[in-house]
Structure 1
Amino acid sequence: MRQHDTLFIGGEWVAPAGTGTIDVISPHTEELVGRVPDGTPEDMERAIAAARQAFDHGPWPRLSFAERAEVLGRLAAIYNERQAEMAQLITEEMGSPITFSNLAQAPQPLGMLQYYAELGKTFVQEEQRPGLFGPITVRREPVGVVAAVVPWNVPQFVTMTKLAPALLAGCTIVLKPAPETPLDAYLLAEWAVEAGLPAGVLNIVAAGRETGEHLISHPGVDKVAFTGSTAAGRRIAAICGEQLKRVSLELGGKSAAIILDDADLASSMGMLAIASLMNNGQACVAQTRILASQSRYDEVVEAVAGMVNSQPVGDPADPSTGIGPLVAKRQQDRVEAYIKIGMEEGAKVVTGGLDRPYDRGWYVSPTVFAGVTNDMRIAREEIFGPVLAVIPYDDEADAIRIANDSDYGLAGTVWTADTEHGMDVARQVRTGTYGVNCFMLESNAPFGGYKASGIGRELGPEGLSGYLEYKTIARLG
Structure 2
Amino acid sequence: MTLDRDALFIGGAWSKPATDSVLEVVSPHTEQVVARVPEGSTADIDAAVAAARKAFDEGPWPRMSPAERIDVVQNLSGLYAAKLGEMAEIISTEMGSPISFSNLAQAPAPWMQIEAFLGIAREFPWESMRPGVLGSDVMVRHEPIGVVAAIPPWNVPQFTVMSKLVPALLAGCTVVVKPAPESPLDCYLLAELLQEAGVPEGVVSIVAAGREVGEHLVSHPGVDKVAFTGSTAAGRRIGAICGEQLKRCSLELGGKSAAIVLDDADLATTLEGLKFIGVMNSGQACVAQTRVLVSRDRHDSFAAALAETVSGMKVGDPMDPATEVGPMVAQRQQERVEKYIALGQEEGAQLVTGGLGMPDGLSTGWYVRPTVFAGVDNRMRIAQEEIFGPVLSVIPYDDVDDAVRIANDSEYGLAGTVWTADEAAGTDVARRIRTGTIGVNTYTMDFAAPFGGYKASGVGREFGPEGLAQYTELKSVYLGAPEM
Q: Which TM bucket (shorter chain)?
A: over 0.9
The AA in structure 2 aligned to 1:195 is A
Task: Find the counterpart in structure 2 of residue 455 from structure 1.
Answer: 459
Residue matched to 1:233: 235
The yes-or-no answer on 1:464 pairing with 2:468 is yes
Output the CA distance in 2 between the equivalents of 1:73 and 1:168: 10
The alpha carbon displacement at 1:456 in A equals: 0.3
Report the AA paired with residue 58 of structure 1: G
Please tell me whether the aligned partners of residues 26 and 93 of structure 1 are also in contact (alpha carbons under 8 angstroms).
yes
Aligned to 2:116: 115
Within 5 Å, give how 1:64-463 maps onto structure 2. Answer: 64-131=65-132, 132-357=134-359, 358-463=362-467
SS of residue matched to 1:226: strand
SS in structure 2 opposite 1:189?
Answer: helix
- Give, in whole Å, the separation in 2 of the partners of 1:36 and 1:203: 15
Q: Secondary structure at the match of 2:461?
A: coil
- TM norm structure 1: 0.99
- Aligned partners of 1:384 and 1:125: how far apart in 2? 39
SS at match of 1:312: coil
Equivalent position amino acid for 2:183 in 1: T
Q: Which runs of 5+ in 1 are unaligned?
A: none
Summarize deviations over 1:262-306 as a string: whole Å, max 9, x none: 011112111211110000000000000000100101111012101
Determine the C-alpha separation between the residues in 2 that align with 1:335 and 1:170.
41
CA apart distance, 1:4: 0.6
What SS does the corresponding residue of 1:207 show, helix, strand or coil? coil
CA distance in 2, matches of 1:125, 1:329: 47
Unaligned runs of 5+ in 2: none
How many residues get paired? 477
Distance in 1 separating the partners of 2:125 and 2:314: 49
> What is the DSSP-based 3-state SS (H/G/I as helix, E as strand, rest coil) of the residue aligned with 1:49?
helix
RMSD after superposition: 0.8
Q: Is the 8 A contact 1:368 1:390 kept in 2?
A: yes
Could you tell me how far apart the structure 2 residues matched to 1:196 and 1:304 are?
50
What do the CA deviations read for 1:411-454 (whole angstroms, capped 9, x no partner)? 00011111111100100000001011111001110000000000
The answer as to whether partners of 2:120 and 2:464 remain within 8 angstroms in 1 is no
Q: Could you report, residue by residue, the CA deviation over 1:59-85 in whole angstroms, capped at 9, with x for unpaired residues?
A: 111111111111111111111111111
Amino acid at match of 2:406: I
Looking at structure 2, the residues matched to 377 and 267 of structure 1 have their Cα atoms a distance apart, in angstroms, of: 29
Letter in 2 for 1:70: D
Q: CA deviation at 1:163?
A: 0.7
**CA deviation digits over 1:326-346, x for unaligned, max 9?**
000000000000000001001
Cα distance between partner residues in 2 of 1:120 and 1:7: 30
What secondary structure sits across from 2:364 in the alignment?
coil
Q: CA deviation at 1:36?
A: 0.9
Offset at residue 475 of structure 1 (A)? 2.4
Identity level (%): 63
Question: Which amino acid in structure 1 is aligned with residue 81 of structure 2?
Answer: N
Distance between the aligned counterparts of 2:292 and 2:229, measured in 1?
Answer: 25
Q: Is the 8 A contact 1:272 1:438 kept in 2?
A: no
Compute the displacement of 1:202 (Å).
0.8
